[in-house]
Structure 1
């Protein structure tokens, strides 16, 4: 291990950043050449889903932008404001993901011990790892931007030259959060060892989301949906024309794109983007040249061992006594594994902030203005039911789906023991289902109280979201059993696999079916009650019974198949 601050050996061969990136490029190219069984099926499924998503996003954005363009006075302002808000969200996500990725790429990667001892210049290492960090953190956002930017080009007839201009605009936009996140990570690791910095990233995530919420609330987008709230039309136009955050790159990108499509000079925001990217990369180059070796040396220090609070365990043991010794120990094992993995429980901080934002924004829905009736206020919770179901599916994909994969090598110990496979699945199912159930009841109940819905709508919403929790948990556990990734080092990467994609597709379909079976007849009942029409209880009994059967089948079948899968794996 070289000492901190040791300069590179003079007169050594240094091929630059590309020499460090070439091995990984060759590995990726060889991996694409050697196909495995099922690769073609995965490519077809993922490609079809991506094409469908791109087409839907492009069609929706194009229709909205053409509607904006029909408004001659404020159409361009609305298009710029919409793009700025979307890019503000993407920029916050990019900054957070680049900060987390830089911690692994610059300080915790396996090949860094060889590179630290090799005669590699710090500048080459920084550029190579910066490119790798930006690529890994930005590829999904870049793919999401393709249909959106394409819709802007088609709606405003940008032509082929707009493609080159979009590349010139979005390359620095993606590079700025990568350079900034890498610099922030270096400063953190120089103060705290990297293995403790993982815990601090949860605080960074909460701060990033809180900052995004503040910026989003400062923009006050609900005002744009209610122009009658302004004193006159000129105030409304002035609110649209005034940048919400003129010092953020998202505003520069939206300004450059809209000006270029309108045929105006867009070199000023483009120059600001490239200047900011160049300055941040240059500052990062200097910081890593002076502080990377010291930070890497500190990164090899383990986190201080915290004393285990033995006095806090008996109360949980006593609370779970009714489960019996075997099930109680399995449940406690799942809880301990979750608590020991900082990459798992630290996500709860970010999740809590997002849920608070979700519930708080219900208050800003324009439900008290003209034209808003009690009927509309009681119909919105059925849309909220589908959105809450999607939130639960995302949480299940993040925490329940990887539970079998996280067993890793310990699964072989469980297989060689006389432990029944069904008991292991039982523990994983209830450890995931109970927190999801509490979260679902709080989420839907709080939003219904804010919307002041009738007791009937409130009851239907709570029962429906409760019925959705169990099949979503079972589906996540079942797909996680059929598509495990025992060799994964990061739990956050497991839900992005092929099995995670299939789970989300199935979960969205299930949510749609349950929302249709429960929401449609309930909404008809509310409409009939509002207008004083006759109501037949049988119109509710049959769809509700079908919804219960669907949820019961979607709960029992995945668990049964998952048990058979683990038993077959044990025999193999």
Structure 2
């Protein structure tokens, strides 16, 4: 029986082509060379065309790191002064409780962040679409995108954890090998939750490509429910005073699940504690050796999960990609959704084109599970916390409790502002950059460019004010603060929303990035980092300008103290000046970025 010569030649050519494909090692070297060339090109472009901008971002990041280091140093110095140096009875228990709770929280955030960023890199990237047409192994492509998600999701972890760990080492006078182990412990720890998030992302898209929004929403609600249970049991205290010795003992016992021996956060905490303590006179006591054991555990689990990621990616990535992008198109509806009709009625005072632009942004928000799932998780957790915060009062009205309530109310306001700054940086700042790829469509419409930018600003300001004002109001109601404080908090919340929105929209128009298609990478770039740092500074200044005069003014009224050093009239003047200063500051951070953003947006050529 003879073979078809044409078929035989095709099979031979195919086998020859397979043999000429690069090996796994060579393929990895090519991707690393590609990444290095892209990085050098971007750095060369930044230092050549944006030298001042780059220097400003680096300087602000260093300033932020130093500020965190000082805060952690003072905190650990206080803790060590109370529980003693490493080797004392309560030092290991106290510091381990802080470490495990801190790293457990960051571990969960890394899982979500890595999965979300990997989703954008693998399933919503034009570069990935191009690479899928090339003779590239699926596992190598997944690893290439995972390395990017690892970098962009873990830089915040290193920014927060490094000053904390260095400050602890200096306070307890840790030996030299503590600082040698530190970077390797942190890198191996960050790798584990990032791989878990990547694997969960691949499995989720593979199994439920058509129901991914519902599944993401269910996961977000489960996280909120678990956090609600933890907060409720932590604050459910009947016989113990809040922040007292019995409260700390109960809290220590209730968060015992964060110290499970199977958790990577526990391995990291134990490794750091072992490396930080001095060697005793016992010849068998080798702290560096014990810390090395935990490092080996972290590295081995990271490498094991790395192999699993390559295996899962090689088997299910391409089928999941095709299943996700080959969904049957749903029938289009000509009528507007109820939320769009409600938005149109609420914005009746705006021009018609601005209304349509805002409605478009609202539709994009609710159709993107990445955005509303993170919104539910963070704001849901804050609402659960505020719903139980009335326990700070303990049904007492003495001046010490009132002082604590006043301080906590402003701290809650600052927390709401800081979380809002992360959302404006992550979702509002990239809007102009993402709009630029479709700018030719908007350019053909009878819409002025200024209307586009004003639409983004109004969408961000109004959309952020409603949930933030509700959270702050819930906090004030549960704390039972006075009506004057509630009005001041609502006024500050409005100024924060306007200022953060103006800053994000203005800087996004001044420093657009039309080459990048992932909003998470745009937010993690130099412009997004600058926006985040400036937003944090603006929030801190705003809260400080009002918190200090409010605190002394209302405490003086509550205690009926007529001091000669600071009369009540001077305190009222101080409060008024603080409010005026906040208004001026909000006007500056809103008008200046928007002014230069409008100027840059008018000259934009895409």
- Give the TM-score band, short-chain normalised: 0.7 to 0.9
Maintained 8 Å contact 1:196/1:303 = no
More moved, 172-181 vs 361-370? 361-370
Maintained 8 Å contact 1:478/1:561 = yes
CA shift for structure 1 position 84: 1.1
CA distance in 1, matches of 2:528, 2:198: 29
CA shift for structure 1 position 106: 4.7
Confirm whether residue 146 of structure 1 aligns to residue 171 of structure 2.
no
- What CA deviation, in whole Å up to 9, does each residue of 1:267-305 have, x standing for no partner? 554454344334433433443444344334434424643
CA distance in 1, matches of 2:77, 2:228: 29
Counterpart in the other structure of 2:62: 51
Counterpart in the other structure of 1:14: 23
CA distance in 2, matches of 1:215, 1:247: 20
CA distance in 1, matches of 2:590, 2:131: 50
CA shift for structure 1 position 510: 3.5
Counterpart in the other structure of 1:395: 423
Maintained 8 Å contact 2:152/2:524 = no
CA distance in 1, matches of 2:22, 2:595: 59
Confirm whether residue 245 of structure 1 aligns to residue 260 of structure 2.
yes
CA shift for structure 1 position 44: 1.9
Maintained 8 Å contact 1:375/1:530 = no
| TM, length-normalised to structure 2 | 0.79
User: For 1:335, which of 359, 362, 366 is the aligned residue?
Assistant: 362
Counterpart in the other structure of 1:471: 499
- What CA deviation, in whole Å up to 9, does each residue of 1:322-364 have, x standing for no partner? 5453443343333334445554444433343343245246356
Confirm whether residue 160 of structure 1 aligns to residue 176 of structure 2.
yes
Counterpart in the other structure of 1:567: 602
Following superposition of structure 1 onto structure 2, how do residues 369-408 of structure 1 map, counting pairs within 5 Å? Answer: 372-408=400-436
Following superposition of structure 1 onto structure 2, how do residues 140-539 of structure 1 map, counting pairs within 5 Å? Answer: 140-193=156-209, 197=212, 200-201=215-216, 203-205=218-220, 207-208=222-223, 211=226, 226-229=243-246, 244-262=259-277, 263=279, 264=287, 265-266=290-291, 269-302=294-327, 304-305=329-330, 307-308=332-333, 310=335, 312=337, 315-316=341-342, 317=344, 320-323=347-350, 325-360=352-387, 362-363=389-390, 365=392, 372-415=400-443, 417-532=445-560, 533=562, 535-536=568-569, 538-539=573-574
Confirm whether residue 42 of structure 1 aligns to residue 53 of structure 2.
yes
Q: Per the alignment, do residues 474 and 60 of structure 1 end up closer, same or farther by CA in structure 2, a change over 3 Å counting?
A: closer
CA distance in 2, matches of 1:9, 1:171: 36
CA shift for structure 1 position 88: 0.7
CA shift for structure 1 position 433: 1.9
CA shift for structure 1 position 75: 1.7
Maintained 8 Å contact 2:429/2:528 = yes
Q: Per the alignment, do residues 14 and 201 of structure 1 end up closer, same or farther by CA in structure 2, a change over 3 Å counting?
A: farther
CA distance in 1, matches of 2:578, 2:355: 38
Count of residue correspondences? 563
CA distance in 1, matches of 2:312, 2:365: 35
Counterpart in the other structure of 1:3: none
Structure 2 unaligned residues grouped into runs of 5+: 1-13, 280-286
Q: RMSD in angstroms over aligned alpha carbons?
A: 4.0
CA shift for structure 1 position 568: 4.2
| TM, length-normalised to structure 1 | 0.83
CA distance in 2, matches of 1:229, 1:173: 33
User: For 1:63, which of 65, 69, 74 is the aligned residue?
Assistant: 74
> 3-state SS of the aligned residue for 2:430?
helix
> 3-state SS of the aligned residue for 2:516?
coil
- What CA deviation, in whole Å up to 9, does each residue of 1:137-170 have, x standing for no partner? 3233234332222223333333332233234433
> 3-state SS of the aligned residue for 1:310?
coil
Counterpart in the other structure of 1:27: 38
CA distance in 2, matches of 1:87, 1:165: 17
CA shift for structure 1 position 188: 1.8
Q: Per the alignment, do residues 51 and 378 of structure 1 end up closer, same or farther by CA in structure 2, a change over 3 Å counting?
A: closer
Maintained 8 Å contact 2:361/2:459 = yes
Maintained 8 Å contact 2:223/2:377 = no
> 3-state SS of the aligned residue for 1:486?
coil
Structure 1 unaligned residues grouped into runs of 5+: 1-5
Q: Per the alignment, do residues 499 and 507 of structure 1 end up closer, same or farther by CA in structure 2, a change over 3 Å counting?
A: same
Counterpart in the other structure of 2:105: 89
Q: Per the alignment, do residues 172 and 212 of structure 1 end up closer, same or farther by CA in structure 2, a change over 3 Å counting?
A: farther
- What CA deviation, in whole Å up to 9, does each residue of 1:353-390 have, x standing for no partner? 34324524635658668984324323432333333333
CA distance in 2, matches of 1:562, 1:427: 13
CA distance in 2, matches of 1:244, 1:214: 18
> 3-state SS of the aligned residue for 2:568?
coil
Q: Per the alignment, do residues 348 and 380 of structure 1 end up closer, same or farther by CA in structure 2, a change over 3 Å counting?
A: closer
- What CA deviation, in whole Å up to 9, does each residue of 1:243-284 have, x standing for no partner? 643321101211122123224434554454344334433433
CA distance in 2, matches of 1:312, 1:341: 16
